Amino acid sequence: MIPLILKLKKAQHKGIAQAQDLIIKELYNVFNEAVLHGGTSIWRCYKGNRFSEDIDVYIQKDIKKLDELFDRFKKIGFIIEKRKITENSLYSNLKFNRISVRFEALFKRINGALMEYENSDGNVIMVYSLTPEELIKEKVNAYLNRNKIRDLYDIFFLLKYIKDKISIKESLSNLIKNFKAPTDEKDLKILILEGIVPKAEKMMEYIKNKNG
């Protein structure tokens, strides 16, 4: 199998991928029940074909553990450019070797599914992520809120992993009913690692067929 980093064309993307691996490693050293979600979990845990630069997780709110986590980040060379904690979430921006990575957390207890996370060097570690059904529901909500082509592509991509079609039928029907064209369709070609870059129209046809 070709290591993930060799599939990345841009030096910046390679740097982000390596920084993500370090963040994930330290995250699970402190929050061993953290649950990955969002685009990076699709890319790394479901062999996705779309580059994703942010790390999104669910964790329990524990300020002491968060302080420990950010201390670990600093010890391995990260610069903490921004860190903001609210009642329900964490927003942070981390810099490593002039590469910035956004790390965000929602303070919520979620039962994740045990998954293999592919590191940039091709090795894997075990993490918790959401099921494909749960990821699709999140991505439908994201698309309807911001009309970004990346979210539509993620829905399209994840459908091949679905085992429980009934559980996502309402979400997909909502997407089909309220669909508006993406505002940034041209950007998808930058994010796709290999192969064709499907048009939004074709992806919606596929989604409609899968939804029956």
The answer on 35 and 94 residing in a single domain is: yes
Query: In terms of DSSP H, where are the helices of the chain?
Result: 4-7, 11-30, 39-45, 63-75, 132-146, 149-158, 165-178, 188-191, 200-210
Give me the domain span that covers residue 108.
Answer: 4-130
User: 121, 44 in Cβ contact below 8 A?
Assistant: no
Q: Is the pLDDT of residue 42 over 90?
A: yes
Query: Does the global pTM surpass 0.85?
Result: yes
pLDDT digits (tens, 9 = 90+) for 130-158: 999 999 999 999 999 999 999 999 999 99
The answer on 195 and 139 residing in a single domain is: yes
Pick left, alpha or beta for residue 41 (phi over 0 → left; psi -120 to 50 → alpha; otherwise beta).
Answer: alpha
Q: What are phi and psi of 113, to 5 degrees?
A: -95, 135
The answer on 86 and 73 residing in a single domain is: yes
pLDDT at 2: 83
Cα gap 34→61, rounded to integer Å: 11
